[in-house]
Amino acid sequence: MSRMRRYKRLHASVIPEITLTPLIDTCLTLLIIFMVTSPVMFNGIKVDLPKGRAQETQGMQEEFVVHIDKQKQIFLNGIPVKHEQLIGQLKKKIGNQKNKTVFVKGDRSINYGQVLELVDEIKTVGGIDRVALATVKMA
């Protein structure tokens, strides 16, 4: 019996090891992939916003954003939309919600009159309470 006890003691003290190296390598690889791809996802539309001092919309959630880039191409929430289809798309997305705000981010090289025409068209959509012109805060 002494042999049996010795055998049990030897094998009971052995703890299996788990190697974490493959797991750490995989996590670091995924982290690098996300670090490289995330700026590409958020910088898809290049719009040079005009500068301003006021921060009127601070803390407001931007649910509906209309971009107008230098080539006068219009985007609704990052999706390219033709000028004629913008109002229909907004009506479809807003549905029967009320008191919504639409943010217009127009490039500063665009004619001010064209931006105002677009803002005026957006105001005709039911459910929209405000149309905000986005600016970049001056330093």
Percent of the chain with pLDDT over 90: 6
Question: Could you tell me which CATH number the domain at 51-137 has?
Answer: 3.30.420.270
Angstrom distances, CA of residue 67 to CA of 6, 30, 56, 74, 118: 77, 31, 19, 6, 11
pLDDT average, residue stretch 90-96: 84
Residue with tokens 């490039």: 107
Q: How is residue 85 written in tokens? A: 């289809």
Q: Outline where the chain has alpha helix (H).
A: 2-12, 21-42, 86-94, 112-123
Whole-structure pTM value: 0.59
- The residues spanned by each domain of the chain are 2-42, 51-137
* pLDDT tops 60 at residue 84: yes
* Rounded-to-integer distance, Cα 80 and Cα 124, Å: 21
